[in-house]
Amino acid sequence: MGLLAFKISLVLLLVMPNILCGAISMTSQLDHQADTLLRRKSSLNSFSYGCLHTWSKRSSPCDWIGVTCSAMVPHHHGPNPNDAVQVVANISLRGCYLEGRLDHLHFADLSGLYDVDLSNNFLNGSIPSIVVYRRRKSSKVGDKSKSNAMVSILNFDGKIAFQDILDATECFDDKYCIGTGGYSSVFRAELEGGRIYAIKLLHSVDYTDEKAFHAEIQVLTKVRHRCIVKLYGYCSHSKCKFLAYDFIQRGSLASNLQDEQLAKELNWSKRVAIVKDVAQALSYLHHDYDTPIIHRDIKSSNILLDCDFKACVSDFGLAQTLKHNSSSWSTIVGTCGYIAPELSSTMVFTEKCDVYSFGVLTMEVVMGKHPGDLLLPFFCRTEQRTKLEDILDHRITVPTRAEEKDIILLMLAAFACLQICPKVRPTMQQACQALTNRICPTVILRPIQEVTLQDLHDFCRIIQTM
């Protein structure tokens, strides 16, 4: 039983004089490499014989489960296809319950190897540099940069980067903590080479359904959108679980709005762009991704801003994936003040719950603070005579005429999303489209001093037809 094996032709110091001599030498080399890898395998433990029961000297490594071979012409043989030999190109041992150290594995002799999948195992230690080389063609074999290794490690789900993260955070020392939430703490981890990651350490590791957790994170690592924080991978260790995200420089939208100086940097054009970014991200999750994803905790502290004030939606560590025309029963995991009102009675999460939270967030961006009591009229249906101008964030300059149009459009979208009945709310696709088109209804297109909150209530449903 062996972990890695392969079939590769002999490339020695002399040219093969004939086919028979070449075949004999190639077989001898294959046997030598197989023996070496089988000895290395003895340092690893496997509790699953399903993956490795075919891995033995009794058969060709190219016939082993998890091994894929392909033809490759050895160096110095020129382009002659007759010189092509079979080599190991791919090794996939995902979920084989392997236990041991990665630095005991050596891939230097696997000249044709370009992909290795060791995810969902219990391996630790530094990743062999040859794997970084195979996944990054521009690198040299001797390149052992840990920053590059980190990226490759995270492509394998991050579990094998366990020691790297511990070293970078000094075992999650408080001095590296940059934020704490209800179920996790976030740490700044800078690896050698300068690459920085945000590591979300989950507080509770008592998961009754480990497979469901892994499956959900696997889905989230495939999410790719410019307005969504990239999840590189995760570590599932017996003592802790953490997620590895891209590090976003300016921190959360909430912290920027709460700081008087930082809030002034968020002028009206930046705030309009931030809301549009969030709308695009949610529209993608709800409507454009393979399996619709409900965030369930949209709030200003989960919106991060990069150095160019581009907004990125974060905190998908425990997001819920749903199929079309279905819902998920679960405990409420949102944040008070952003949670859709129907959840208090139905406990059913749908995309419209995110839509409601987006409405609260949009008002918060315009006002510079959480709308608070301004949400009450949506419940008691009282008339709102307050002028829109009076609730704007006055820490920044007065909006221009063009910016007034954008603000009115933002507030129309917000009020449409805040409707008590979920069915009346627009989809995120509709809200995103309305904000992108920037077509403000003529019935409400007037100086902002003349627009009341009641006007926004009366005309907000136009959003669904824009």
What is the DSSP-derived secondary structure letter of residue 158?
S
What the block records as the tokens of 423 is: 């069915």
Give yes or no for a contact between 298 and 320, defined as CB atoms under 8 angstroms apart: no
* 377 phi, psi to nearest 5 deg: -60, -20
Give yes or no for a contact between 369 and 257, defined as CB atoms under 8 angstroms apart: yes
Can you tell me the distance from the alpha carbon of 91 to that of 114, in angstroms, rounded to the nearest whole number?
9
What is the DSSP-derived secondary structure letter of residue 452?
B
State which H helix or E strand residue 116 sits in: strand 115-117
Residue 321 C-alpha from the chain's centroid: 14
What the block records as the tokens of 335 is: 């944040």
Please state the residue numbers annotated as binding site: 200
Give yes or no for a contact between 409 and 449, defined as CB atoms under 8 angstroms apart: no
Please report the DSSP string for 302-364 in residue order. GEEE-TT--EEE---TT-EE--TT--EE----S-TTTS-TTHHHH-EE-HHHHHHHHHHHHHH
User: Does the annotation mark 288 as catalytic?
Assistant: no
Can you tell me the distance from the alpha carbon of 311 to that of 254, in angstroms, rounded to the nearest whole number?
12
Which of 164, 277, 297, 315 is flagged as catalytic? 297
Please state the residue numbers annotated as binding site for ATP: 200
Angle between helices 428-437 and 268-283 (to 10 degrees): 140
Where in the sequence numbering do the catalytic residues fall? Answer: 297
